[in-house]
Each structure stands twice: as structure tokens, then as C-alpha cells.
Amino acid sequence: HIPRTIGRRCNFGIKGSDCYLESVDDNSEIFIVTTEGEVHIKLQILGDHNQFNAVTATTLAVNLGCSLKSISN
């Protein structure tokens, strides 16, 4: 049995969400917009699915209280 948790509901993925992928440059650096501000992340592995995994992880980290600086590192 997995206990229910109480938390803030958020959405992510598409523009207008709490957290979404704004742009990608040629060097696999992505620009993510969050409720706390904007963050640039350099991905080590290319691919659309990796970009969206980064958005998912960023959303979780922001909602757990991580700073954008620590997320971008």
C-alpha cells in the first residue's frame, strides 16, 4: 500500500504550463521556463525525450524547493 501525499498540483510540458521547454539551441542547451524563473541546462545526451525528461526533473526540483542555480548545475 502506497500512502497518499499532500502537495501542490502542477502541470508541465507545454507553453503556458507551470514548467515548460522554451527553446533548444544547436549545442543541446535547453531553456526551461518555471514558476520560479528561467533556467538553462546543458544536456549531455541529445534527443527530444531527454529534453522532456529534463523538464520533468526541473518541475519536480522546483516544487521540492531547489534553487534554479542548483538545477542548472
pLDDT of 28: 83
What is the tens place of the pLDDT at every residue in 13-63?
889 899 999 998 877 899 999 999 999 999 998 888 999 999 999 999 998
The larger pLDDT score, comparing residue 1 to residue 23, is at 23
Residue at grid coordinates 542547451: 29
Nearest C-alpha neighbor of 51 from the set 24, 71, 27, 16: 24
pLDDT of 47: 87
Single pTM value for the model: 0.83
